């Protein structure tokens, strides 16, 4: 039930890894926009987002919001100057595993907003790994000045505490994508496998020797040899995941049969969300492939390459079926066959956990909108 919209609109800049064609990060953005809209309507606050994007025109068209270029200093300055606050997140923004430039960029955006006197908010981020000690001090200095800090797992909260942040100021919430909703009027496409169960697979490159690709190909061949399942390959990060999916298919004995198919390139998170929704179970290396499935109570098997996979699976009371360093094809195949054979059991067991995570995923948006509701009441 929504409240009456009062006061002037609140313009919020959103900073993240947006506009790069990564389905997971676009899903984070979609989820945050949905949550802010829902909480704004419920609390009577009109939220006007402005997304900092690598492709502002594409982002504006895809989400129906204003967007500005994330790497043009003058445009960034003008955008933050005209906004009422800045949201940083979600995703894994504050980590130095992929690049030493990532942390300085996202902290600089936060710091600039703070210098301009704007409230700043950290939205369900995954923190770390952070190997460089200098970055520890930088992160602590900037986040201490934030009006609200939330992270997506207890390990991230513990890392921030070791950096010197007050643990009481850090809220642990689920990944925003757990709260994502498909479009109300969407129609599910025809099932790929007809009456056959569909096993979704999200794979990425990780090891240089591609050993994990070979083991997964062997596992999927075993599943197809012992069941009537259909395998649907789901590339989340383009173009690299498409290349990994094609290599996986080429390594499979069944790869060129009609029992294996490759999803089209989808940049829209809602389209990929629905693509995952056509599956009966999912094997995932991408974190957001697992979240897309779990949010729709589709049974999941996670293959871990990063602690964030294990952290999410623990929220579901699950463990990874293997890792990129140690993947047993027969173990993966048997686990997948069990899920396909008794999907309903997994759903009965996990549904209460999934519903709780969906509700908790709204918490950062609820807190941010409440902040501005209080500010409007003061003015």
- pLDDT, tens digit, for every residue of 38-78? 999 999 999 999 999 999 999 999 999 999 999 999 999 99
Phi first, then psi, for residue 28 (nearest 5°) are -60, -50
Spatial separation of the C-alpha atoms in residues 261 and 194, rounded to whole Å = 13
What pLDDT, in 10s, does the model give residues 199-254? 999 999 999 999 999 999 999 999 999 999 999 999 999 899 999 999 999 999 99
Distance CA 373, CA 365 (A): 12
Q: CA-based diameter of the chain, in Å?
A: 68
Q: What is the pTM of this model?
A: 0.89
Peptide bond into 10 cis (omega under 30): no
The structure tokens listed for 108 are: 């600089």
Q: Which residues pair with 49 in a beta bridge?
A: 12
Q: What share of the chain is helix, strand, coil (3-state, %, to 5)?
A: 50, 15, 35
Determine the Cα–Cα distance for residues 303 and 63; give it in Å rounded to an integer.
Answer: 31
The whole-number pLDDT of residue 249 equals 98
Residue spans of beta strands (DSSP E) within the chain: 10-15, 47-53, 66-69, 85-91, 120-125, 148-151, 170-172, 198-202, 230-233, 260-262, 281-284, 300-304, 322-323
Which pLDDT does position 2 carry in this prediction?
56
Q: In this structure, what token pair is assigned to residue 72? A: 């043009």
What is d(CA 193, CA 176) in angstroms, rounded to the nearest whole number?
A: 30
What gap in Å lies between CA 332 and CA 219, rounded to an integer? 6
> In Å, how far from its chain's centre is CA 315?
15
Which residues in the chain show pLDDT less than 50? 1, 185-187, 189
Give me the phi and psi of 303, to 5 degrees please. Answer: -110, 120
C-alpha span between 367 and 166 (Å, rounded): 18
Predicted confidence at residue 193, as pLDDT, reads 56
Residue 236: which residues within 8 A CB-CB, separation 6 or more?
22, 23, 24, 202, 204, 272, 286, 288, 289
Whole-angstrom CA distances from 201 to 41, 106, 256, 280 are 37, 32, 16, 11
Domains identified in the chain and CATH numbers: 10-173+361-378 (3.40.50.2000), 198-357 (3.40.50.2000)
Q: In the structure encoding, which two tokens stand for residue 166, read together?
A: 């007050």
pLDDT of residue 195: 81
């Amino acid at each position: 039930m929504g409240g009456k919209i009062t006061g002037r609109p609140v313009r919020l800049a959103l900073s993240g890894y947006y506009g790069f064609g990564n389905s997971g990060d676009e899903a984070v953005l979609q989820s945050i926009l949905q949550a802010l809209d829902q909480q704004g309507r419920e609390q009577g606050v009109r939220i006007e987002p402005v997304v900092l994007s690598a492709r502002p025109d594409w982002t504006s068209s895809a989400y129906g919001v204003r967007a500005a270029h994330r790497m043009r200093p003058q445009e960034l300055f003008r955008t933050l100057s005209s906004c009422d606050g800045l949201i940083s997140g979600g995703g894994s923004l504050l980590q130095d595993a992929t690049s030493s430039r990532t942390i300085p960029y996202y902290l600089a955006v936060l710091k600039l907003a703070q210098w301009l006197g704007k409230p700043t908010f950290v939205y369900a981020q995954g923190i770390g790994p952070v190997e460089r000690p200098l970055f520890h001090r930088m992160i602590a200095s900037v986040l201490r000045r934030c009006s609200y800090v939330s992270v997506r797992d207890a390990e991230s909260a513990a890392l921030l505490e070791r950096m010197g942040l007050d643990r009481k100021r850090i809220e642990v919430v689920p990944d925003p994508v757990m709260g994502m909703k498909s479009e109300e009027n969407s129609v599910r496409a025809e099932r790929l496998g007809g009456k056959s169960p569909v096993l979704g697979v999200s794979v990425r490159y990780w090891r240089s020797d591609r050993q994990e690709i070979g083991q997964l190909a062997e596992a999927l061949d075993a599943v197809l040899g012992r069941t009537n399942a259909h395998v649907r390959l789901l590339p989340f990060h383009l173009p690299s995941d498409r290349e990994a999916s094609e290599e996986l298919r080429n390594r499979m004995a069944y790869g060129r049969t009609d029992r294996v198919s490759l999803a089209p390139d989808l940049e829209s998170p809602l389209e990929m969300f629905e693509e995952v929704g056509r599956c009966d179970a999912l094997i995932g290396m991408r974190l957001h492939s697992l979240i897309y499935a779990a949010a729709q109570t589709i049974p999941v098997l996670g293959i871990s390459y990063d602690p964030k996979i294990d952290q999410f699976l623990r929220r579901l009371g699950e463990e990874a079926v293997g890792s990129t360093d140690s993947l047993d094809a027969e173990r993966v195949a048997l686990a997948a066959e069990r899920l396909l054979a008794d999907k309903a059991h997994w759903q009965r067991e996990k549904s209460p956990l999934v519903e709780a995570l969906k509700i908790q995923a709204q918490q950062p948006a609820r807190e941010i909108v409440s902040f501005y509701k209080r500010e409007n009441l003061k003015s």
